[in-house]
């Protein structure tokens, strides 16, 4: 014969036990963060938005090798390299990153691109507010990623420090721009120089 199901005894203890959990939580400190009114402090090594770095004189560290793009598991990085010339130099080496884009709709902020970079041109900042209303705005260009100019730096393109080569830059021997360093005219971005010397 099948056993009859045991009847649960209705009592006063079950509701009281449930309210006990509520009463305990009432006196605990709230864990709610008032974001965005109160900005969240990130850890020093937090992986946030990327940044393309410069040498102390202003030349770009990116040499357009595309290793970061190859290392990216999400295929979020696009790099197009170009050749430097003495008349128009962006980095100490033979090449530079003419086009650099990171698609933050794909990026998983894993940091593998940082490990792949041979010149420490690409690092990650603590900036984490990357949300936007448009997918097109999530594709950051080189101009958005490139670090700003600090005191003593000269914007690219410009010539390398006199009497040095690219190895001196990578060894950290170049610590400032040479006196009298001037920005060169940029004409390589698909532009033809006009009579004034600036691309239209």
DSSP class per residue in 117-177? -TTS-EEE-S------S-SGGGEE-HHHHBPPP-TT--PSS-PPPTT--HHHHHTT---SP
Rounded to two decimals, the pTM is 0.74
* Cβ atoms 146, 90 nearer than 8 A: no
Confidence of residue 197 (pLDDT cuts 50, 70, 90): very low
Tell me the mean pLDDT in the region 68-96.
94
- Flag whether pLDDT at 188 surpasses 80: no
- Flag whether pLDDT at 169 surpasses 60: yes
How many C-beta atoms lie closer than 10 Å to residue 164's C-beta? 15
* Cβ atoms 129, 138 nearer than 8 A: no
Euclidean distance between CA atoms 149 and 79, whole angstroms:
22
Domain segments of the chain: what residues? 50-170
- Flag whether pLDDT at 45 surpasses 70: yes
Q: Within the chain, what is the greatest distance between any pair of CA atoms?
A: 105
Torsion of CA 172, 178, 183, 189, to 10 degrees: -30
Euclidean distance between CA atoms 181 and 99, whole angstroms:
25
Rounded mean pLDDT of the chain? 86
Measured at the alpha carbon of residue 158, what is the angle toward residues 154 and 163, in degrees to the nearest 5? 100
Euclidean distance between CA atoms 59 and 164, whole angstroms:
13
Euclidean distance between CA atoms 128 and 140, whole angstroms:
14
* Cβ atoms 113, 50 nearer than 8 A: yes
Least confident of 5-19, 28-42, 50-64, 70-84: 5-19
Which CATH code of 3.30.70.3270, 3.40.50.2000, 1.10.3720.10, 3.40.640.10 fits the domain covering 50-170? 3.30.70.3270
């Amino acid at each position: 014969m099948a056993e009859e199901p045991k009847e649960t005894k209705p009592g006063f203890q079950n509701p009281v036990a449930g309210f006990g959990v509520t009463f305990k939580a009432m006196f605990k400190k709230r864990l709610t963060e008032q974001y965005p009114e109160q900005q969240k402090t990130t850890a020093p090594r937090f992986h946030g938005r990327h940044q393309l770095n410069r040498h102390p004189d202003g030349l770009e560290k990116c040499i357009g090798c595309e290793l970061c793009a190859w290392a990216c598991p999400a295929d979020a990085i696009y790099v197009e390299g170009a050749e430097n010339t003495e008349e128009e130099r962006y980095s100490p080496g033979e090449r530079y990153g003419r086009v650099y884009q990171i698609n933050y709709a794909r990026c998983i902020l894993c940091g593998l691109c940082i490990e792949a970079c041979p010149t420490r041109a690409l690092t990650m900042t603590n900036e984490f507010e990357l949300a936007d209303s448009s997918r097109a705005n999530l594709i950051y260009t080189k101009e958005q990623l490139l670090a700003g100019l600090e005191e003593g730096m000269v914007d690219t393109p410009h010539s390398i420090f006199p009497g040095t080569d690219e190895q001196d830059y990578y060894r950290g021997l170049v610590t400032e721009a040479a006196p009298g360093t001037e920005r060169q005219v940029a004409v390589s971005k698909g532009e033809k120089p006009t009579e004034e010397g600036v691309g239209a």
